[in-house]
Amino acid sequence: MIIRLQKRQLRQRKETAYALAEFGPTLFIAFCLIVMPVLAFGMIGARYVFLLNAARLSVQQAARCKSFLVDTSPAELSAVNTAKTIANNSINSIGGGLVTLTSTTVFIKVCPFGGGSGSVTTPGPNKPLNGPADTANNAYDCECVLQGIVQPLFPGASSLLGVIPGFNAPMNANVRMDCFFENESNLNQ
C-alpha cells in the first residue's frame, strides 16, 4: 500500500512539473499575441492624441486672433502664426520625439447662413478673405490641419510581418480641428 501511495504521489509530481514546464511557453505566446499588440495600439493611440490635442489648442487660439495673416503687433500674432506657434509648442512639450510636426495649415471656412449650395467654401490654405467678412450672410470658421509623424513603439525592430507603421516604422497622421472665429473683422488681412 505504501508503494502504491508513493507511485501515485510521484505521478502527481510529474504531472505538476509538466504543467509548470508548459506554462512558460504558453505565457510567452499569450504575451506576444495579446499584450504586445494591445500595448502597441495603446501607445500609437496616445501619440495620435498628442497630435490631436495640438490641433485643438492651436485652432482655439487662432480663432481668437485679431487678424488672419498679418501680425498686428509682436505680442498679437495673426491666426496663421498663432496656430503654428501653439502647435509647435504643444508637440515640443511632449518630449522624447514621440510626434514630429511636419506642417500646419490654417483655413477660413465660409459657411452661408441661407444654406445655398450647402457646401463650405474656403479661400485656400493660409490665405485671407478677398474682401471684408460678410457677417450678415455668413459664419466664418477657422480650421487647422496638422500633418505629423507618429514615431513607432519599437523603432528599427524587425518583424516577421515586415514593416508595420506604428509598431516598427513611423506612421503619418493628419488631424484637423475647427472653431468659429471670435473676431471676424480682419479676416481679409
pTM of the full structure: 0.78
**Burial of 119: CB neighbours in 10 Å, binned 0-12, 13-18, 19+:** exposed
Beta strands in 72-152 (DSSP E): 99-112, 138-150
Residue 63: C-alpha distances to residues 26, 38, 92, 115, 145 (Å): 55, 37, 22, 23, 14
Decide if 175 contacts 189 (C-beta within 8 A).
no
Q: What is the pLDDT along the chain (189 residues), one digit of tens a residue?
A: 555 656 666 566 666 666 666 777 888 887 778 887 788 788 888 888 999 999 999 999 999 998 888 888 888 899 999 999 999 999 998 877 889 999 999 999 888 887 666 566 778 888 888 888 888 888 888 999 999 998 888 887 777 778 888 778 888 999 999 998 888 888 888
Domain boundary assignment for the chain: 2-180
